[in-house]
Amino acid sequence: MYSIIAVDISGRHKINDRYYMVCAAVSVSITADHIEKVNQIKIKTFWLDSVELTDIIQVIEDTAKEIEFEGTIITEHGEMYNQPEGVVASMFSRDFKYQESLGERSSIELAHHISLCTRNLLLNELGIDS
């Protein structure tokens, strides 16, 4: 069993010429094929003007630093515009890799549901017209 921080971002399309993004970071203890324990969940919202790779990395770093548990940051390939792992990892200030095992994929799926639901809820509650 080992701990990771699974991250997912929702909102990569423009609202009133800007991007309203919700990033969910989930610290989980996993095995190769399933999640054993959810340690902590952090959600942060961002208004961005652009969604370049560096912006995405900043969003992830800002959210993941609020997690109190250690662990490599893991995302889907598409989150980083399918850039090679080595290139992306070198831009992070902490360990990063793409999803590999079933356990890691399940964790990212969990993060994805959290970020998507949170964004939908916030858009609704704040009356932001998407």
Residue span binding another protein (CB under 8 A) among the ranges 12-20, 26-34, 59-67, 110-118: 26-34
| CA 104 to each of CA 58, 66, 73, 95: distance values in angstroms, whole numbers, following the listed order | 22, 20, 10, 15
| CA 109 to each of CA 12, 17, 30, 59, 130: distance values in angstroms, whole numbers, following the listed order | 17, 28, 13, 18, 23
Q: Using the rule CB under 8 A, is 84 a contact of another protein?
A: yes
Q: Which is nearer to another protein, 45 or 101 (CB)?
A: 101
Q: Using the rule CB under 8 A, is 33 a contact of another protein?
A: yes
Nearest-angstrom CA–CA distance, 30 and 101: 10
Burial class (CB in 10 A: 0-12, 13-18, 19+), 126: exposed
Residues touching another protein, count (CB under 8 A): 14
Residue span binding another protein (CB under 8 A) among the ranges 12-20, 35-43, 48-56, 80-88: 80-88
Nearest-angstrom CA–CA distance, 77 and 90: 15
Q: Which of residues 87-126 bind another protein (CB under 8 A)?
A: 87, 100-103, 105
Residue span binding another protein (CB under 8 A) among the ranges 17-25, 46-54, 78-86, 111-119: 78-86
Residue from 16, 18, 31, 69 touching another protein (CB under 8 A): that is 31
Q: Which residues would be at the binding site for another protein (CB under 8 A)?
A: 2, 31-34, 83-84, 86-87, 100-103, 105
